[in-house]
Amino acid sequence: MFSLKRISFVGIALIMMVMLYGCGNSGQEAKVENSQPAVNSEPVATNSTETRTLKDAKGDVVIPVNPVRIADVSGSTEELLVLGYKPVITGNTDMANSLEITPILKKELPDVTPAGWFQTEVNLEAIIAASPDLILAGPTQEKIYDQLNMIAPTVRVPYGFNAFRERFAFVAEVLDKKAEMETWLKAYDQRAILLHDQITEITKEETFAVIEATEKEIRIYSRTGIADMIFNDLGLPLAPGTPEPDPWGGKVTSLEALSTFNPDHIILLSDNDQNVLDQSKVWSNLKAAKSNNIYRMTSRQNYNEAFFALGKEALLEQIAEQIKEHIKQ
C-alpha cells in the first residue's frame, strides 16, 4: 500500500511521467491491444487526442473523448467491461486478498493490474506505472485526488460500494455510454422478473431473510449486496421483523432476538461452519432450518460479486436455481 511518507518518491515519478508524456505516447501504443472490449462486440475507438469537459462530483474536468487506458479505482471495473472498455488498473480486488483481483475479473480481465481495494486509499505507484489516460476515483480516494490528477485526468465518482445503479449510471454518463447501460439494465431487470415469477409460482407469499453468520456475530441484511438482489431485483417477500439496517445494509442481532425471527427461507452467508449459528439450538428450531429451506453462499462471494454488474448477473442465476431446485425436491 502506498505510504504518504514516500511522497517525495511519487512526486519525482509524477514529474518524470509528465515530461515523458509531453514527448509522446509511444509507450502507450505498445499496449493498445489491452484496450479491446471484453463484453461488447464493437471495439471502442482508440483516439485519445480529442477532449471534452464534464462535471464530476466536485466540478469541471477535461477528459479524453475516447480513453483507451482507464485506471478504475472507483469500483466500476465490471461496469466498464459491460460498456466496452478494458481498464488497465482496477480497485475491484478479492475480499480475501486486496492484492488479487476478484475471481470474475481473473476470467474476464486477467491482465489487469490491481491497485488495492477501491474502498481504501490505493497504490499510486501502480497507477503511475500503468500510464493511464483517464482515472475514475471513488469517494475514498478524495485525499489523494490531486496526486491522481497529476497522473491523468481524474473523474471523481460520487457513489461507493453500496450504490450500484447510481455508480453505473454516473460512469455511463461520463463515457457517453448511457444507451449501453440502459440496454444491460433492461435485460437484467427482465431476467429478474422472469425468475421472480418462477420462484413465487411455488413459494407464493412465503418470506425470505438474508443472514450473515461469523464466529462472533449474526447480521440480518435487508439492503445492499445479495439482500438488494433478493428483495429489490427478485422482489421476494421480506420476513416480518427484519430490523432497520445500518449504512452497510444490515443489523447485528443476537441469538435470543433471532428466536423471534422466523422466515420461511433463509439465504445464509458464511465462509465456514465454525459460526455462531450452525451449532445453535435456536437456529435448528427456526422454521426455515426445520424445512431445510437454507441456501448457502459465502460472505466472500457476496462482497466480490453482489455489488457489481457481471457478478450480479451470475449470482441472480445461482440464487434462483438454488431456490427452484430445492423447492422441486
* One domain for residues 104 and 215: no
Residues 149 and 94 in one domain: yes
d(CA 193, CA 281): 36
Specify the number of domains making up the chain.
Answer: 2
- Dihedral sign, CA of 121, 86, 131, 125? positive
- Please report the pLDDT score of residue 19 as a whole number: 42
- Per-residue confidence (pLDDT) for residue 9, from 0 to 100: 40
**Over the stretch 150-180, which tens digit does the pLDDT of each residue have?**
999 999 999 998 899 999 999 999 999 999 9
Q: Give the residue-averaged pLDDT of 24-52.
A: 45
**Rounded to an integer, what distance in angstroms lies between the CA atom of residue 54 and that of residue 171?**
12
pLDDT value, residue 127: 98
Domain boundary, last residue among 176, 197, 217: 176
Average pLDDT over residues 232-259: 93
251 shares a domain with 125: no
Buried b (16+ CB within 10 A) or exposed e, 185-198: beebeebbeebeee
Do 169 and 28 belong together in one domain?
Answer: yes
Co-location of 77 and 132 in the same domain: yes
Residue 24 pLDDT greater than 50, yes or no:
no
> How far apart are alpha carbons 109 and 89 in whole angstroms?
10
List the beta bridge partners of residue 135. Answer: 71, 154
Percent of the chain with pLDDT over 70: 85
Q: Is the pLDDT of residue 295 over 90?
A: yes
103 and 242 in a single domain? The answer is no
Does 156 share its domain with 206? no
- Cα Dmax for the chain: 71
Domain that residue 282 falls in:
183-328
Same domain, 15 and 143: yes
- Identify the domain boundary among 176, 204, 232: 176
Same domain, 168 and 97: yes
Round to whole Å and give the CA distance between 102 and 95.
8
Residues whose CB is less than 8 angstroms from the CB of residue 23 and which lie 6 or more positions away in sequence, other chains included: none
pLDDT tens profile 181-212: 999 999 999 999 999 999 999 999 999 999 99
- Residue 27, pLDDT above cutoff 60: no
Assess whether 91 and 164 both reside in one domain: yes
pTM of the model: 0.83
189 shares its domain with 170? no
Inform me whether the pLDDT recorded for 7 exceeds 60. no
**Domain-terminating residue out of 150, 176, 202:** 176
State residue 272's pLDDT score: 81
Range 222-250 average pLDDT: 94
In DSSP terms, 265 is beta-bridged to 208
- Indicate if the pLDDT at residue 57 is higher than 90: no
Mean pLDDT across the chain, nearest whole number? 86
The SS3 call for residue 184 is helix
Query: CATH code at 247?
Result: 3.40.50.1980
224 and 321 fall within a common domain = yes
What pLDDT does residue 188 have? 98
